[in-house]
Amino acid sequence: MTTQPKCTDPVILNLWHPLAAVSETSVGTVMDTVLLEERVSYAVGSDGTVAAWRSRADLPAGSRVDAGSIAEQLPSKSAYGYVWTTLGDAPAELFPIPEFEEPDRRRLNAATMGVNVSAPRAIENFLDMGHFPYVHTDILGAEPHTEVKEYDVEISAERDEILATRCRFYQPMASTASTEGADVDYIYRVPHPYCSVLYKSSPVDDKRLDVIAIFLQPMDQEHVRAHMMLCVLDEDNEDKIIKRFQQTIFGQDKPILENQFPKRLPLDPRAETPIRADKSAIAYRRWLSQKGVTYGVIPAAA
């Protein structure tokens, strides 16, 4: 049986997409969600096996299931603490995050939250440092430290990802492990049109970086489930304190994201006027254009 997907953008269709945190999925139970306008079900087995399939009547949400024995599955995988699937065929390998394997790190899903915004708009906000002092006042920024200093952006052809380096910003409270304000180094990666990975100075080890990733699950072109992965160095705080910190920040971004207009990201360079600090966003828009992404964006006129 072949099913015609609702999403007709082959680039987006053929990607791995996150569905839910493994840690928040009850073992052996059918769970439902939405991906690219389609009902999708998933389950996690007691051995960590994951399964995903287009929702169907014989496996309603809440029913008990053996994740290994489901017929007509979609491709699926467990990575970085989440269940991933695709509605297309055989996507390339999921991007690497080597730090995830380091044993002394805390690996958490800070939260999965519904946001009324397109995935590319959310990625672009994640890349933006200019809003820190105004939206995350006294946490990720504070006046008068408002300048976004010059940083470097490249589109790596080899890895097919955007890399922004040499980013530096004064942060009163960079993480739960912070004891004072500090100039914090940032590296941003965009290795997937709807996912970004951020590396920032660890307050507890000046040679290592905390990793914070945002994995966006497109429910449709203007609604996402945002999965926030943390992979940080912090020996002191309980999980819930680390989650609370990240949720506070995301909760501050949420109304900004939801008030963006138009909700889809315009890729025409003339549509919106950037400033120098938006260099990484300019690269991101160009990268999406080059890939031919049409879902969640307003493509540039040909």
Look-up of token digits 């080890």: 205
Which tokens belong to 192? 């997937």
Which tokens belong to 100? 């995830």
Instruction: Report the site for other proteins in 130-169 (rule: CB under 8 A).
Output: 130-131, 134-135
Q: Tell me if 55 contacts other proteins by CB under 8 A.
A: no
Binding-residue total with other proteins (CB under 8 A) = 43
Cβ proximity to other proteins: between 152 and 258 the closer is 258
Single out the residue of 29, 73, 247, 289 in contact with other proteins (rule: CB under 8 A). Answer: 247
Cβ proximity to other proteins: between 14 and 287 the closer is 287
Q: Tell me if 251 contacts other proteins by CB under 8 A.
A: yes
Q: Tell me if 21 contacts other proteins by CB under 8 A.
A: yes
Q: Tell me if 274 contacts other proteins by CB under 8 A.
A: yes
Measured distance CA(76)–CA(56) in Å, rounded: 17
Q: Tell me if 196 contacts other proteins by CB under 8 A.
A: no
Burial letters 265-295, b for 16+ CB under 10 A, else e: bbbeeeeeeeeebbbbbebbbebbeeeebbb
Measured distance CA(8)–CA(77) in Å, rounded: 23
Single out the residue of 260, 286, 289, 299 in contact with other proteins (rule: CB under 8 A). Answer: 260
Measured distance CA(54)–CA(41) in Å, rounded: 6
Amino acid at 85: T
Q: Tell me if 86 contacts other proteins by CB under 8 A.
A: no
Single out the residue of 252, 289, 299, 300 in contact with other proteins (rule: CB under 8 A). Answer: 252
Q: Tell me if 271 contacts other proteins by CB under 8 A.
A: yes
Cβ proximity to other proteins: between 138 and 206 the closer is 138
Q: Tell me if 60 contacts other proteins by CB under 8 A.
A: no
Per CB under 8 A, the segment of 51-59, 73-81, 155-163, 249-257 that binds other proteins is 249-257
Measured distance CA(196)–CA(18) in Å, rounded: 13
Q: Would you give the binding string for other proteins spanning residues 100-129, x where CB under 8 A is met?
A: ---------x-xxxxxx----x--xx--x-
Single out the residue of 154, 272, 291, 292 in contact with other proteins (rule: CB under 8 A). Answer: 272
Q: How many Å separate Cα 5 from the centre of its chain?
A: 23
Backbone angles phi, psi at 19, to 5 degrees: -115, -40
Q: Tell me if 298 contacts other proteins by CB under 8 A.
A: no
Which tokens belong to 235? 């020996």
From residue 43, give the alpha-carbon distance in Å to each of 56, 68, 112: 13, 9, 17
Q: Which residues touch 244 (CB under 8 Å, ≥6 apart)?
A: none
Cβ proximity to other proteins: between 49 and 247 the closer is 247
Q: How far is the CB of 123 from other proteins (least distance, A)?
A: 11
Backbone angles phi, psi at 249, to 5 degrees: -65, -45
Of 215, 189, 182, 199, give the one whose Cα is nearest residue 18: 215
Measured distance CA(234)–CA(140) in Å, rounded: 18
The DSSP H or E segment spanning 82 is strand 82-85
Single out the residue of 24, 37, 38, 99 in contact with other proteins (rule: CB under 8 A). Answer: 24
Q: Tell me if 27 contacts other proteins by CB under 8 A.
A: no
Determine the length of the chain.
302
By CB under 8 A, name the binding residues for other proteins.
21, 24, 109, 111-116, 121, 124-125, 128, 130-131, 134-135, 225, 239-241, 243-244, 247-252, 254-256, 258-261, 271-275, 278, 281
